[in-house]
Structure 1
């Protein structure tokens, strides 16, 4: 009998190190509708002061911890799936918070649309309308000229 290879059960949580917990809370709540479920206050149970949030219909656990910001921006990012019909609403939320909205990378038709924005600590977030299945189906059709979306 083959040996069982353990597999992850799914995403546990994501943690962002931020210089301003209140500002990041405003971003998580204002853009993603996150619900704060825990605030350590000045107590330290882990590395530093921390807050926990639940995001989306699947209650994705997002943790933020006080610390030094990333030294520079990169394309490393976390993406949340959103409904196509809500894209402009999210664009408005990002603008209302004065966040740095980035132009989308060139895309082939059929892989979904995205909004990218940075927080003050150089974390890049993506709000994306597509799914992995849709992207793989589109890529299987072969390359065509990309469009910005």
Structure 2
């Protein structure tokens, strides 16, 4: 039985550029070049995103990665996305925010319920 999620690998055209988006968006993002020059590692909320250089698929299918954030982080990230010119879609009474990275991967920021 698995004990935890180890990493999520995403194929991107420019790993360093994609990593810089996460570093700009989240204050606690840790970015590290991977083994060789073909990937970059980004740690967010205990999950490692492995950004692998390649040709990403162009079509979106509803798959996405969601990060739980508090209301303050949600507001900061929404402002940072807008400042970077990245479109966001608010959902569920403005408690969820969806955005795409540079390679059409979809991410969600989900406000954690109080309690």
TM-score for the superposition, normalised by structure 1: 0.67
Alignment of 1:95-134 (within 5 A): 95-104=82-91, 107=92, 113-130=95-112
Residue from 22, 29, 40 that aligns with 1:51: 40
CA distance in structure 2 between the aligned counterparts of 1:127 and 1:21, rounded to whole angstroms: 21
Work out the number of aligned pairs and report it.
113
Q: Which runs of 5+ in 1 are unaligned?
A: 1-6, 43-48, 135-149
Give yes or no for contact 2:16–2:40 (8 Å, CA) kept in 1. Answer: no
TM-score for the superposition, normalised by structure 2: 0.84
Report deviation, 1:41: 4.5
Q: Which runs of 5+ in 2 are unaligned?
A: none
Residue from 30, 35, 43 that aligns with 2:30: 35
Larger of the two Rg values belongs to structure: 1
- Give every structure 1 segment of 4 or more consecutive aligned residues whose post-TM-superposition deviation is greater than 2 Å: 37-42
Alignment of 1:1-149 (within 5 A): 7-33=1-27, 34-42=29-37, 49-56=38-45, 59-104=46-91, 107=92, 113-130=95-112
CA distance in structure 1 between the aligned counterparts of 2:33 and 2:102, rounded to whole angstroms: 22
